Every structure is written in C-alpha cells, then in structure tokens.
Amino acid sequence: MTSPPCPYAALYEPEFHADPQTVNERLRKEYGPVIPVELEPGVRGWSVIDYATLISWCRDTRTFSRDSRRWRDWREGRLADDSGTLGMMMHRPNVLFADGAEHQRLRRAVTDSLAATDPQALTEVARASANQLIDAFCERGEAELLEEYARLLPFLVINHLFGFEEENARRFAVAMRDLFDGIHAERANAELERVASAEITRKRRQPGKDVTTGLLEHRAELADEEILQHLVLIVGAGNEPTANLIANAMRILLTDRDLGDDVAGSRTSIEDAVDRVLWSDSPLTNYPVMYPTSDIPLANGQEIKEGEPVMLGYAAANRNVAQEYAESMGSAPNRAHLAFGVGPHRCPAQDTAIMIANTGLRTLLRRLPGLRLGVPPEELEWRVSIFARSLTRLPITFDPQPPSAEGTPWKQSHSSPETSTASPDASAPSGRSSLSNFLARLMRGR
C-alpha cells in the first residue's frame, strides 16, 4: 500500500529536490497560489508560487514585513538553537531584513555605493578573472566546473568590486568558499572577519572608488557592524546565486542540444540563454522571506497567521509562467522573470550578477572547444537546500588547450595557510545546504 502524497512541500527532503516542479504543481492544484511548506522537521511556513500573487504581495509593504523578528516560531521560542533555518532567516542589521524608512536608508547606501563603480572596468575584471581560472585547468581536458570555476568567478569579481587588496581578496574568496562548504567553518569565519575588518580599516585610511569606501563614506552613516553585515550579504549572498546561475546555465547548454546548438551557431545569444535559465532554473527558489503583519485568509479557506514565514517561490512562479507562454506563443517571455525579486526589495546588484554570468559563460565557450558533460546527465545531483537550486557538482571534459598567458592561473596555494582549501569530500557535510550551514554558524558566532 503506497503512502498518500505529503500535504506540504518538504523542502529539506532530497525527494523534493529531485523533482520540485511535480510537487509544486500537485500542491498548486490542491491549495492554489500559496502552498504549505516544511522548512525542516517541525518548522512550517508557506511558499507563494504564483507569478501575479508574488508580485502583488512583494509590493504590499503594509501587509508584509521583511523583519524576521516577527517570525512567530522564533518569537515564541519554538525553534531549537541549532535550527538550520536560523542562519538564513534570523534578523541582521542589513537591507535584506529592513522595512520602511530604515530599508530606504540602507538601500540608498547600497545602491549609491554600487553605482560609484565603473561597469566597463568591472566587466574587464570578470573577463580576466574567467581566463585566470580557466588557465588553471585548461591543459587537463577536464574540470569540475562548479568548484573550479562557477563558485570562484563571482567571488573574484565581487571582491574586486569591494576594493579588496589582491591577496586579501584571495583569502576572502577561499574563506567564504570554505564557509559555504562547511569546511573548518570556525577557522574560515575568523579569517573572513579578519580580512573584512582589515579592509574596513584600510579603506578608512586609503579610500577608493569601490563599494566598501562608498558604504563607509555614505551620508547614511552606517555603523561598522552594518558595514560588515552588508559585506557578508552582498559578497556572500551575491556569490551563491551567481555561481548557481553559471552552473545551471552550463548544464542546460550541455544537455539541451537545440539550445546548445543555437548558442554555438550564434542564433541565440548568451544573454538570451541566461534569461531562459532564469525562467526555467532560477538559482534562488524560496528566498527571501516575508512575514504577514496580520492574519491573511486564503481563497481555499485556510489562513496564514501573523508572523508565519512566507517564502518567495521565484523558481516555481517563473517556471509556471514560462510554460504557459511556451504553450500559447511558442516561446517563453524574455526578461520579465522574478529571479532577482520584485518591489522595493528587488536585488540592487542584479546587473552585476548577470554580467558575471554572461562573461563567465562566454569565456568558457570561447576558450574550451569540444566542451561536453563529463558524466551522463542522469548522474547529476541537486543539493538539498530550501533556498537555492544548485548542483552538487558539474564535471566537464573538453579538448585540452594552452593557457591564455594573460596572467597567473588561480591556485589554491595563494590562500592563507590558516584557511582550508580542500575540495568537498567525505569530510564535508552532505544534505543540508552549505549556504545555510555557513550562515547558521555565523549567526551563532562560531
């Protein structure tokens, strides 16, 4: 006798990540545009998976708050101290968790600081960094693209964006990578704080045209803790979705023969291919989170209680709309996806993320002829993360190529000996998202 279908989406179960769309569609038919979810055993919430509803609710700043101090389970002491959801959802003094005037103050500081950088110069940094990373493995004819490229490229570019010194940028990138993977997290977190504190101190003495200086000098007069939390937010959270986008896009290019051939034949641009991936495999799935300020009745007779977490199901909403357009018009819409949010909290760094992904993919395809998947597609696995859509690995093979001679190839030995540079192996935790592990440890001061 088979068990009845689960009455909610268990976001922490590997079975959900193997085929999330099937689960979402089953629950959509039963509950409508907002479905019940379980973030971890005993921790419940909701996910809004309808495109129009998601847009409407994200713009309704009176009914919904981003301040997670409203989270009912946390507020009433029902969460364990080691809950894996705390790292991503506990309140921090940065723009992601702010409402109203405080959100406007912090967002203005972030957007002004980002706007002070030269987009063309940053694109050149992305291209040079991509070549540097490729040079480290191009002669081998094979690589693990997620670990050796997709995760590292955003870090290198974003660290430059923040004006870090080269060696500090390397140390910061490796420390953040170790934190994401849960490898020697305490040591890596201490390294991150040392580097960030040193850079804040250095930028006070030697300001430059970079985001760190912009945050320090902004008229919003951010406290050092606010600056540090924004460094972690933009550098850390900015890397994870961008890395996932690069890897997800490359997976589709290598497994969807029609799209891959169209890109190779210049019938489809890299930019359009990336937009297609943002519709079909959004790197963020159920994040950020909103909290109702009062009870909300649903059309099916259920009710979302004040303070219950409402996850923003961008991936499900995007995919559903893309399928509807494909069926009615023959192709999915282009840039109206919600992969970077909507409303007042729309990601202020989306242009940078898109530029990094486009540059990274274009450089890969140019540099590595004969690029192909290193394992059968069915052997690829998805990480178990309630917030992200991410592969566990992406092996590739290609025709061996000489280095570009544009600079020193990226080598892990550049990092501080105090920080691990080991690749994930049996010692690394499996199952729960390494992003969640990292932020959970960070919130508990470990």
Q: How many domains does the chain have?
A: 2
Q: Where are the alpha helices (DSSP H) in 256-289?
A: 257-264, 270-280
pLDDT for position 445: 37
Q: Average pLDDT of 156-183?
A: 73
Statement: residue 185 has pLDDT above 60: no
Identify the domain containing residue 198 by its residue range. 98-281+344-446
Nearest to residue 45, comparing CAs of 383, 241, 286, 384?
A: 286
Asked if residue 61 and residue 13 are part of one domain, the reply reads yes
Share of the chain above pLDDT 70, in %: 83
Q: Which residues, in sequence order, are CB contacts of 253 under 8 Å at separation 6+?
A: 259, 260, 263, 273, 361, 365
At 167, which CATH number? 1.10.630.10
Asked if residue 376 and residue 312 are part of one domain, the reply reads no
Statement: residue 443 has pLDDT above 70: no
Checking phi first, is residue 120 left (phi over 0); if not, alpha (psi -120 to 50) or beta? alpha
- Cα 130 from Cα 323, distance rounded (Å): 33
Structure-token match 């949010």, residue found: 341
Q: Who has greater pLDDT, 219 or 185?
A: 219
- Cα 134 from Cα 402, distance rounded (Å): 10
- Look at residues 315, 338, 361 and tell me which one is the last residue of a structural domain: 338
Q: How far is CA 169 from the centre of its chain?
A: 19
Nearest to residue 64, comparing CAs of 111, 97, 112, 23?
A: 97
Asked if residue 324 and residue 250 are part of one domain, the reply reads no
Asked if residue 186 and residue 55 are part of one domain, the reply reads no
- Cα 246 from Cα 334, distance rounded (Å): 18
Calculate the average pLDDT of the chain: 83
pLDDT for position 336: 87
Asked if residue 148 and residue 52 are part of one domain, the reply reads no
pLDDT tens, 251-289?
Answer: 999 999 888 888 888 888 999 999 999 998 888 889 899
